[in-house]
Amino acid sequence: MPKSEIHPEWYPEAKVYCDGQMVMTVGSTKPELHVDVWSGNHPFYTGTQKIIDTEGRVERFMRKYGMSDTTDSAEGDAKSEA
């Protein structure tokens, strides 16, 4: 049995709100919880996550650190001459 007067009040049916809508109930020391993200609207869980490489990050990294493949550019020059 927990000591009295030292533990916060426990709410076994605390309501969780996201964007003003109740999304679930959980046990908590607060009667209401307001969250921005939960599993119902997070892209990882909903399957809407998209990875877009619009800037060509890998190619830019390779150029920046001198790791670009010079054989590709040499082949491209040879093809343009023919």
Tell me the three-class secondary structure of 48-78, residue by residue.
CCCCCCCCCHHHHHHHHCCCCCHHHHHHHHH
Among candidates 11, 58, 62, which has minimal Cα distance to 33?
11
pLDDT per residue rounded down to tens, the chain (82 residues) = 668 888 899 999 999 998 889 999 999 999 999 998 888 887 777 777 666 666 677 788 888 888 766 555 555 555 555 5
* Per-residue confidence (pLDDT) for residue 62, from 0 to 100: 82
* Per-residue confidence (pLDDT) for residue 25, from 0 to 100: 95
Residues in contact with 28: Cβ distance below 8 Å, sequence separation at least 6, in sequence order: 10, 11, 14
CA dihedral 7, 12, 18, 21 (to 10 degrees): -140
pTM of the shown model: 0.49
